Structures are given as C-alpha cells and as structure tokens.
Amino acid sequence: MAAKRQRLRISTRWLAVIFLTLIAREGLAEETRFVLVNATNYPIRELVLSPHDLSAWSANVLRAPILKPGETREVSFLSNFADCNQDLKVVFDDDASLAIWQYLNMCNLKKIRLHFDRTSGISTASYEE
C-alpha cells in the first residue's frame, strides 16, 4: 500500500511538472507578425508552419477570408519558436494542392512574397527581414 502511495505521489509530481512546463511555454509565446503577399496565381486557404525539415505543422495561421492572387495581408500569431528557421506550407483553395517554402527565418521576417509554378511544382519567395 505504501509503495502504491509513493508511485501516486511521483506520478502527481510529474503531472505537475508537465503542467507547469506547458504553462511556462505559453508564457514565452511571442506575437509573430509579417506581411504575406500572394504572388501565386491561386487563392490561398491555409498557411501553416513547421520547424525546418520536421513536418510538424502548426494550426492554420491565415485568418479568413481566403487570400486571393495579388492580395496582401498581415499575418499574426502567437509563436514560441525554439528555432527561427521554419518551413511554410500553404493550401490552395481552388484544388487543395500544397506548396512548401523551406528554411525561412521567421524571427526576422517582415514581408514575404510567395511565387508558385504549379506545372513545375517549384515554389520561390522574395522576402524582407
């Protein structure tokens, strides 16, 4: 019985540590904002981020409505990047196809203009830090 109580105390302590760690990470979250220019020929429905080469995609950070070709919008979201280098993925509204831009320094990014050639599948970007 004493061993069971000891395990319960240890489990409770670990849960408390995990909970406090999660709260601390939320407290460290900073607002990230940049200007997104849709220089593709396709409307963008979603924009998600992942640490470079991990494919651990975030929730959609592009608020409605869709971003039409040629439109510009400020994107802002709470982030707690452990590494500033992120991959950016968009989902196009017309056919749900995807395009990825890799290794962007999101900590210094001010403005990004996305280009995508659907025929070749090549995504390029020009940006200001």
Domain count, the chain: 1
Work out the mean pLDDT of the chain and round it to a whole number: 86
Q: How many CA atoms lie within 13 A of 61 on its CB side?
A: 22
How many C-beta neighbours within 10 Å does residue 49 have? 21
Q: Assess if residue 66 is contained within a domain.
A: yes
Mean pLDDT of 27-45: 91
Q: Assess if residue 119 is contained within a domain.
A: yes
Q: Assess if residue 5 is contained within a domain.
A: no
Q: Assess if residue 11 is contained within a domain.
A: no
Encode pLDDT of 44-89 as tens digits.
999 999 999 999 999 999 999 999 999 999 999 998 888 899 999 9
Name the strands in the sheet holding 85-92, side by side, starting at the edge strand that comes first in the sequence. 44-51, 85-92, 98-105
pTM for the structure as a whole: 0.75
- Range of the structural domain that residue 104 is part of: 30-128
Mean pLDDT of 86-97: 96
pLDDT of residue 63: 95
Mean pLDDT of 36-45: 98
How many C-beta neighbours within 10 Å does residue 38 have? 24
Residue type, 105: N
Q: Assess if residue 6 is contained within a domain.
A: no
